[in-house]
């Protein structure tokens, strides 16, 4: 996809803001892929700063492979205890010093006000940094502000990791330039799809299936963003923006899957149907709803943590299946965005 000409190595300096599953996976991936990136794309990615919720660690010449791997072993929110760690320094203070080319935003989404990720992104853009983000809430709540500033500064904001993070779905959608897209619908949340699949497979209650999801790390301790459809709705809003549609989070109709009972599952089996949690956006509306599907519908056969999307176009339906996310899967999408900016800058 990106074949680099035979030129000298280009250094791309980055800062990673947010060091949870995706951030740590990205650090490992950069180590594992460093030689490939140099050989194939003539890019050397230098991680110069990493931020977590309590502080940062900075190295102006960039962290070595060994240091990056050691940083991934540090307990959460303890990054500032590493050598060269800092507490209390602002993003601007550190960026004025290290001058990164790319700001990588991986903090958790906050759908109340979009902070701190929105301010982080705007600060980075004002300091002439391109942005790569897997954090959805800034795009959901402050899309116009972010992209107005991006255009004004002549920079790039990439967000492959925000929807179906383990796949190139965003790229696919953006490539359909000659198609009239009538509707996009699909399974956009891995946690809820796992819960529903488990209820069918084992004929157990929602509560039991949720407990299983938590036990294996598929569901968070507080899964409300997934269960109430907020995560899937956020992805719909981002999809809508790519289709030229403006939809606010409160305008997306949402079902709460915790209302689903084992009797509902059993009754659907008797009717030879399958209940799925389907996110849909069309010309006039957006919703995340429990829907009873015929077994012949491809979406009815998507199980576990797999995601799938059907794009209904004037030229027929396109069906796209892949991993919805996960630390390493999303990190691949983030790294693809970094490479894309690197080879085009």
Q: Judge if 193 and 208 occupy the same domain.
A: yes
Q: How far apart are CA 83 and CA 59, in angstroms?
A: 9
Give helix 206-215 / helix 190-202 axis angle, nearest 10°: 120
pLDDT at 88: 83
Q: What is the DSSP letter of 264?
A: H
| Model pLDDT for residues 6-47, shown as the tens digit of each residue | 568 999 999 999 999 999 999 999 999 999 999 999 999 999
Q: What backbone torsions phi and psi does residue 67 show, to the nearest 5 degrees?
A: -65, -40
**How crowded is residue 131: how many other Cβ atoms within 10 Å of its Cβ?**
25
Q: Judge if 156 and 249 occupy the same domain.
A: no
CATH number of the domain encompassing residue 28:
3.40.50.720
pLDDT at 30: 98
pTM confidence score? 0.94
Q: Please, what is the average pLDDT of the chain?
A: 95
Question: Which among 165, 159, 163, 172 has a CA at the least distance from the CA of 319?
Answer: 172
User: Residues 153, 235, 245, 289: which is the catalytic one?
Assistant: 235
Which residues, 6 or more positions from 220, have their beta carbon under 8 angstroms from its beta carbon?
A: 191, 214, 226
Q: Judge if 37 and 103 occupy the same domain.
A: yes
Q: Does residue 292 lie within any of the structural domains?
A: yes
CA 73 to chain CA centroid, Å, is: 23
| Model pLDDT for residues 117-134, shown as the tens digit of each residue | 999 999 999 999 999 999
CA 142 to chain CA centroid, Å, is: 16
214 catalytic per annotation = no
Q: 233, 252 in Cβ contact below 8 A?
A: yes
| Model pLDDT for residues 263-307, shown as the tens digit of each residue | 999 999 999 999 999 999 999 999 999 999 999 999 999 999 999
Q: Does residue 14 lie within any of the structural domains?
A: yes
Q: Judge if 192 and 303 occupy the same domain.
A: yes
pLDDT at 331: 96
| Model pLDDT for residues 93-107, shown as the tens digit of each residue | 999 999 999 999 999
Q: What backbone torsions phi and psi does residue 63 show, to the nearest 5 degrees?
A: -80, 145
Residue 28 is part of which domain span? 10-166+327-344
Q: Judge if 129 and 193 occupy the same domain.
A: no
Start-to-end CA distance of the chain, whole Å, equals 16
Q: How many structural domains are present in the chain? A: 2
| Helix locations, the chain, DSSP H | 21-41, 65-71, 91-98, 117-126, 137-153, 169-175, 190-202, 206-215, 224-227, 230-242, 262-270, 327-344
Q: Judge if 20 and 148 occupy the same domain.
A: yes
Q: Judge if 145 and 181 occupy the same domain.
A: no
Q: Judge if 47 and 125 occupy the same domain.
A: yes
**How crowded is residue 331: how many other Cβ atoms within 10 Å of its Cβ?**
25
Q: Judge if 22 and 63 occupy the same domain.
A: yes
pLDDT at 345: 81
Q: Judge if 196 and 160 occupy the same domain.
A: no
Q: Judge if 67 and 198 occupy the same domain.
A: no
Q: Does residue 3 lie within any of the structural domains?
A: no
């Amino acid at each position: 996809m990106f074949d680099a000409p035979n030129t000298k190595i280009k250094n791309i300096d980055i800062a990673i803001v947010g060091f949870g599953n995706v951030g740590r996976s990205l650090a490992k991936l950069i180590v594992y892929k460093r030689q490939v990136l140099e050989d194939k794309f003539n890019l050397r990615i230098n991680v110069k700063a990493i931020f977590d919720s309590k502080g940062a660690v900075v190295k102006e010449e960039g962290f070595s492979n060994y240091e990056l791997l050691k940083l991934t072993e540090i307990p959460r929110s303890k990054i500032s205890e590493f050598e060269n760690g800092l507490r209390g320094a602002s993003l601007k203070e550190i960026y004025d010093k290290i001058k990164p080319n790319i700001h990588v935003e991986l903090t958790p989404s906050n759908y109340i006000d979009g902070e701190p990720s929105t301010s982080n992104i705007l600060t980075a853009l004002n300091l002439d940094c391109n942005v790569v983000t897997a954090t959805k809430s800034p795009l959901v709540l402050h899309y116009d502000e972010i992209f107005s500033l991006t255009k004004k500064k002549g920079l790039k904001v990439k967000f492959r990791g925000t929807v179906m993070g383990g796949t190139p779905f965003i790229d696919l959608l953006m490539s359909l330039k000659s198609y009239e897209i009538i509707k996009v619908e699909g399974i956009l949340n891995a946690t809820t799809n796992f819960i529903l699949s488990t209820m069918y497979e084992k004929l157990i209650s929602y509560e039991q299936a949720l407990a299983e999801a938590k036990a294996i790390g598929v569901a968070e301790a507080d899964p409300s963003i997934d269960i109430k459809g907020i995560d899937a709705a956020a992805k719909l809003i981002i999809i809508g923006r790519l289709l030229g549609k403006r939809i606010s989070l409160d305008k997306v109709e949402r079902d709460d899957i915790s209302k689903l009972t084992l009797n509902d599952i059993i009754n659907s089996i008797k009717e030879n149907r399958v209940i799925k949690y389907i996110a849909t956006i069309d010309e006039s509306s957006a919703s995340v709803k429990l829907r009873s599907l015929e077994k012949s519908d491809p979406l009815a056969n998507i199980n576990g943590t797999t995601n799938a999307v059907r794009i209904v176009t004037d030229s027929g339906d396109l069906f796209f299946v892949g991993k919805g996310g996960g630390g390493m899967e999303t990190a691949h999408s983030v790294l693809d965005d970094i490479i894309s900016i690197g080879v085009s800058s």
